[in-house]
Structure 1
Amino acid sequence: MHSTSRLARWTTVAAATALLAALSASAAVPASAAVPASAAVPASAATTPAAESLPPLSPAVLRQAIAGLPNADVTGALVRVSGRAGHWSGTSGTADLATGRPVPADARFRIGSISKVFTATVVLQLAAEHRLDLDGTVQQYLPGLLPAGYPPVTVGELLNHTSGLPGGGGGAFWGDGSNQWFVDHRFESRPPRQVVEGLVAGQPMDFTPGTAQEYNGLNTFIAGLVVERVGGRSFAEEVRDRIIRPLGLHATSVPAVDDPRLPGPHSHGYLTVTAADGTTREADVTEQTAWPWAEGGMISSAADLDRFLTALLGGRLLPPTQQRLLFTVPDVPNHDNKNCEQGPTAGHACFSMGLMRFTFPDGTEIWGKTGSRPGYTSGMFATRGLARRLVYSFNPTGLKGAEAPYIRRVATAAFSPGAK
C-alpha cells in the first residue's frame, strides 16, 4: 500500500510557499511605495525596466547567503545565478554526512513541483498541435475518473489551479505527516490514477471551477493522465521527446513511480528523526519512490533547469498563443491558502498555466516555480526577459520550511539586492 505522503504539504503547499513566504518576510514596504496590486491581472507583453535593469551581482553576498552549512536545519546548498546581468555559482555544506564530501556543482536533485512546469509545457504543446482543447473537460478526456457529481473541469483550469478540485482530501490516506512516517514509508508507491481516485473519493469540490485559485497537486496528476490519453504514450516518453532530448537535458529524467534511485552525482537528503529515548539522528532519505510523477517526481540539475527555463521563457518551446498563457494570471481570488504574494497582492491569484509570479518591493518581477520532496527543496526563477536567472537546491532536514531564510537571502541577493 502507498500513502500520498501528505501531498498538500510535501509536494504542493510547502513547495509553493517556500520562496513566497520567505520573501514576504522582507517584502513589507510603506503604503506609498507599494507595488500596484496587479497579481490578478494578465501580465503585459513587455518587461518592466526594474525587471531587466538589475544591479551587478555581489559574489560576497551570495556566498554569505549560503554560509554556515551544514547545520541542524540544512545539510547542503547549490546555487546558480546566470543571465546577461551576471553569473555566479556556489555550493555550501556537505553532500554526505558520513564522509563530509562536498556538494557537487553538477549535483542532480529531486525537483518536486518544478515537474509541474514540464507537465504544463507538454499540455500546452499538445494544445498548440490541436490535439487537445484547453477548454475541453477532464470528464471528456478521462471519463469516469472524477465523481459523477462533480461539475465540468477544463484542462486549462487544471493548469492554472482554478479547477476547484479538493485540495485537502484523502483523510488517513495522508499518513501523519511526520519525518518518521516518511522514513518508514518512503519506498511505497501507487499508480497515478489510483492516487487521483484516492484523493477525490468522498470529497466535495472546494469551489466552483474558474471562480478562484487554489494551488493543488491533484490538478497536475490529472493533467499528466490527460497527456497520456491524448498522446497515446507514457508521460515520461512525451517529456523525453518534447523537452529533454531537444534541449539536451542530460541530467533530467522522469523516473518510474516505483523507482527510488537518484542516479549520477548528488547530495544525500536527510530527515531528522527522534528515537524513543529522545535522541535524534539524521535518516538518509535519498532513495525514495518517485510516486508524485507528473506532479512532483522528476530529477534534474541546476544547469538543466537553467537551460529549460531559458528555452521556455525565451519562446523556444511554445508558439506565441500558448506562450502568452505562461504569463497570464487569472483574475480571481486566491482560495484559502497562503501560496501567493503578501502585501498589496494578498488574496489574489499568482499562478499562470505553468508558472508562478512574485514581485519584489522594488518592482522586480520574477517567474518560475518551486519544488520540494523530503530532503530536497529547489526553485528556478527568472526575470521575464532572462537578464537574470536563479536555480537553487537545498537539503533541509525537516518538512516545515526551516530552509526559508536561506532561500530569502539567495533570492534577494540575486534579484533585489537593495531590499532589507
Structure 2
Amino acid sequence: MLKKQLQDLLNKKSDNNEFSGVVLIKKGDKELFSGTYGYANMSWEIKNTLETKLRIASVSKMFTAVAILQLIEDGEVDFNTKVIEYLGMKGTKIPKEVDIYSLLTHTSGIADYFDENGSDEEWEKLWSEKPIYTVRKLADYVPMFAYDEPVFKVGEKFQYNSAGYILLGLVIEKASGKSYFDYIRDNVFSKLNMKDTDFISLDRVHKNVAEGYEPIEDKEGNIVNWERNIYTATPGAASDGGATSTAADIMVFIQQLRNGKILSEELRKRMLTPQVLDQGADGFRDYVWKYGYGNWFILDNDNNIVRGGHTGEEYGVSCRVYYYPNLDIDVVILGNQGWCAGSLGWDIHDIILNSEL
C-alpha cells in the first residue's frame, strides 16, 4: 500500500512537471521505495537514474556540522571558541562574542551575504554587482557580509544564516590545516565510502551529473520552456552548501550519522538533539520547530522528535533529507528542478505517518 501511494504521488508530480529527480526511502536496511523522474539533461532527454549525481544545496551544511564536531572531539576547538579571534579577522563588524555554537545554531545575529527571505530579483541583483563566477573559495564570500552591521545580538534568536557556515568552513580550514573540501573528503566522504559525492563545479565537465532547471512560465502560469541554472547558482560548492551526490550516498550518510559511525557517542547525541527554537516556523502544521547543529527538527507537543534532517534550495536544485527516529525511516529527495522537493516532502511525510509499517 505504501509503495503504491508513493508511486501514484510521484507519477502525478512528474507528469505535472512538479518534480524531477530521485527519491529513496529506507526503513533500516530495507528499501521501502525508490524512484527516478524527469531528465538529468533535457536537451538530450537523458533520464535521471539512481546513479545520477545531483547538487544538494544546503543539505551540505550537515557535512560542515559533522566536521566541526569532529574537530571539537579532537580538541582543536570547542563550542565556546570565539570565531573572530580564532580566525584573526581584523576590521570586521562581526561581534567578538560570536562563537562556534551560535554559528552552528544560526543564533549569531551576523549579517548574511544574502537574505534567505529575499526575492529572486534581489539574488540576481547581488550577482550583477559581484559576478557569480568569481566566487570560488570560502574567502571570496567574506567581504559580502563581514563588514555589515549585525541584525541582532548574539544568542537572541534563531535566524537561518548561510554566512555563519562560511565562517565555520574557515574554522575547519584553520583547525585542520587542509582546505574545507579536502577535510570533508577525507573525514566524511572517504570514511563512509561515499564514492559518488564530491565538490564539483557547474562549469566543468563531470560524468553522470544532472543539470539544474527552472521553469519559464507565461502570464497564465503555464510552463512554456526551461532554463538552466548556469547564471544563477554559484559555480562551485562552499561550506554552506553545494556538494554533489547520489541518493544512495546521502542515504549512507544519514544512516551512518544516526548509527554513530562518524562521531563519538557523545557528539552523535548532540548532533541529533534540538538546540534552539525556530520562532519563524514554530507551530507550522502543529509542530514545534527547532534547529540543532546542521539539523532541523520537528517535535510533537510532548517534545518527542518526529523528524530531523535538512533542506536544500538553489536555483535548479531542491532537496530534502529526513529521518524519523521512532520509525527508523530515512527519506532522501534530490531534485534538479527549483522548489520541487518541499511540497513533495510533506506529501511523503503524511503518507509515512499514516501508513502501517
Normalising by the residue count of structure 2, what TM-score does the alignment of the two structures yield?
0.84
1:138-177 to structure 2, matched below 5 A, reads 138-144=83-89, 147-148=92-93, 150-167=95-112, 176-177=121-122
Please state if 1:354 is matched with 2:294.
yes
Residue 333 of structure 2 corresponds to residue 392 of structure 1 = yes
Contact kept? 1:66, 1:77, Cα under 8 Å: no
- Contact (CA 8 Å) 2:310, 2:320: kept in 1 or not? yes
CA distance in 1, matches of 2:75, 2:104: 17
Higher strand share: 2
Q: Tell me what 1:294 maps to.
A: 239
Q: How far off is 1:366 after superposition?
A: 1.4
**What residue number does 2:343 align with?**
405
Residue matched to 2:180:
235
1:197 paired with 2:143, answer yes
User: Do the aligned partners of 2:93 and 2:146 also contact (CA within 8 Å) in 1?
Assistant: no
Q: Distance in 1 between matches of 2:249 and 2:274?
A: 26
Residues 324, 59 of structure 1: alpha-carbon distance in 2 compared, 3 angstrom cutoff: same
What are the residue-to-residue correspondences of 1:3-82 with 2, within 5 Å?
A: 58-68=2-12, 70=14, 73-74=17-18, 76-82=20-26
User: 1:355-392 CA deviation, whole Å, 9 max, x = no partner?
Assistant: 11124799771111111221111121112267211101
Deviation at 1:271, TM superposition (A): 1.8
- For the 8 Å contact 1:367–1:383, the answer to whether it is kept is yes
Whether contact under 8 Å (1:261, 1:289) holds in the other structure is no
**1:88 pairs with 33, 52, 55, which one?**
33
Residues 161 and 91 (structure 1 numbering): CA distance in 2 closer, same or farther, change over 3 Å? same
- How big is the shift at 1:96? 2.9
Instruction: Tell me the equivalent position of 1:268.
Output: 211
Aligned counterpart in structure 2 of residue 342 of structure 1, from 270, 284, 294:
284
CA distance in 1, matches of 2:123, 2:191: 40
Distance (Å, rounded) in 1 between the aligned partners of 2:193 and 2:253: 9
Paired amino acid for 1:411: H
Report Cα offsets for 1:157-201 as digits up to 9, x if no partner. 11111111124768xx99824789989966442432231221232
Q: SS of 1:163's equivalent?
A: coil
The change in CA–CA distance for 1:190 and 1:110 in structure 2 (over 3 A counts) is same
Contact conserved, 1:367 with 1:381, CA < 8 A, in 2?
A: yes
In the alignment, the residues of structure 1 paired with residue 22 and residue 320 of structure 2 have an alpha-carbon distance, to the nearest angstrom, of: 11
**Gap regions ≥5 residues in structure 1:** 1-56
Higher relative contact order (CA 8 A, sep 6+): 1
Residue 407 and residue 162 in structure 1: after superposition, are their counterparts in 2 closer, same or farther (change >3 A)?
same
Which of 189, 198, 203 is matched with 1:253 structurally? 198
Aligned-residue CA RMSD (Å): 3.5
Q: 1:179 to 1:282 in 2, by over 3 A?
A: farther
User: Given that residues 228 and 235 in structure 1 are in contact (C-alpha distance below 8 angstroms), is that contact kept between their aligned partners in structure 2?
Assistant: yes
1:372 aligns with 2:310: no
Q: CA deviation at 1:417?
A: 2.6
Q: Is the 8 A contact 2:19 2:341 kept in 1?
A: no
Give distance in 2, aligned partners of 1:218 and 1:243. 22
How many aligned residue pairs are there? Answer: 348
Q: Secondary structure at the match of 1:144?
A: coil
Unaligned 5+ segments in structure 2 are none
Cα contact 1:78–1:91 (8 A) shared by 2: yes
Kept in 2, the 8 Å contact 1:103–1:267? The answer is: yes
Q: How far does residue 329 in structure 1 lie from its aligned partner after superposition?
A: 2.3
